[in-house]
A and B are shown apart, each in its own frame.
Chain A
Amino acid sequence: MIGDPAFGQPSDCGPARHGVGGWWTQRLTALVLVPLVIWSATSALRLRAFDQPSLAAWMRAPWNALALIALVLICAAHSYLGLRVIVEDYVHALSWRLAGVALLQSVHWALAAVAVFAILHVALGGGAA
């Protein structure tokens, strides 16, 4: 089998049929989230007040807005991939497993869309009193 040219191209991509793509993305997003979350947490804790005007002013700074968008998108991807593995591990009936993964995917897309829209809305001048 080893030495056979087809050996490097598995025909079966595992029980969820998505191969190793999710595995890689899970690790890549993990790596990026370490500095992103540390930056967001220190940045947020350094704000003098947690009221709407100061948070909106913080979000209006372009680099803050961009980094927050990146944080939200990468968080959504990492959360989806992690929860999907849990569903795939513990939900054995194929129909329920697929339904669970589809639900996770929809919820994470919705969360990412709401967050990105909200950040852009504030960054482009909305959200003022």
Chain B
Amino acid sequence: MPMRSRPLSPFLHYRWQYTNTLSILHRVTGVGLSVAFVFLVYLIAAVARGPQAFARAATLSAHPLVRGLLALMAITFAYHMCNGVRHLLWDAGLGLERSQARRSAWIVVLATLILGATVATIMLLHRGGAA
């Protein structure tokens, strides 16, 4: 069968439910964190380049949009870490029953909201006074 006429499994026939929602969120948050990693390297390089270069990086970091994105990254990281631990437990053969997977999904969502919101709040309060 030619490549183009093959069925595009699993992209087209999956029902939208919590399993594939959490799974695609893991990828989306992972990509977001990769972008955040670039920003981290930029900040580290700015420290090495000296006070003037760092002052420019600090001005950029203090922009409301960047501050918002950085706070969002706390929630993004919280999700990727919690769900990542869930994946690691699955890889170890734990929690694979449907009821367990459903419970761990709820734990991930709640832990993300609590952990992410706490760190995001600390970041927004902390960075307000500095830099």
Chain A positions within 8 Å of B, measured between CB atoms, are 27, 30-31, 33-34, 37, 41, 45, 48-53, 55-56, 59, 68, 72, 75-76, 79, 82-83, 86, 92, 111, 114-115, 117-119, 121-122, 126-129
Contact = CB atoms under 8 A, between A and B. Distances in A.
A55 to B, nearest CB: 5
A27 B44 contact: no
Size range of the interface on B? 35 or more
Contact of A37 (B3, B81, B87, B88): B81
A96 B91 CA distance: 30
A72 B38 CA distance: 10
Contacts of B45: 114-115, 118
B48 A51 contact: no
Contact of A72 (B27, B44, B127): B44
Given A34-B81, A50-B130, A127-B50, A82 B30 contact: yes
A122 B84 CA distance: 33
Interface string B1-45: 001000000000000000000000001001101100110110011
Contacts of A86: 27, 30-31
Contacts of B27: 82, 86
12 contacts: A34-B85, A41-B119, A45-B123, A51-B131, A52-B46, A53-B51, A55-B54, A76-B37, A79-B34, A83-B30, A86-B30, A111-B37
Interface string B43-82: 0111111110011001001000000000000000100010
Contacts of B84: 30, 34
Given A30-B88, A34-B85, A49-B130, 18 more contacts: A31-B88, A33-B81, A45-B123, A52-B50, A52-B55, A75-B37, A75-B40, A79-B34, A79-B37, A82-B27, A82-B30, A82-B34, A83-B34, A121-B48, A122-B47, A127-B50, A129-B50, A129-B51
4 pairs of A and B residues whose beta carbons are closest in the complex? A118-B48, A52-B54, A50-B131, A79-B34
A127 B47 contact: yes
Contacts, number: 92
Contacts of A59: 47
A41 to B, nearest CB: 7
A48 B129 CA distance: 10
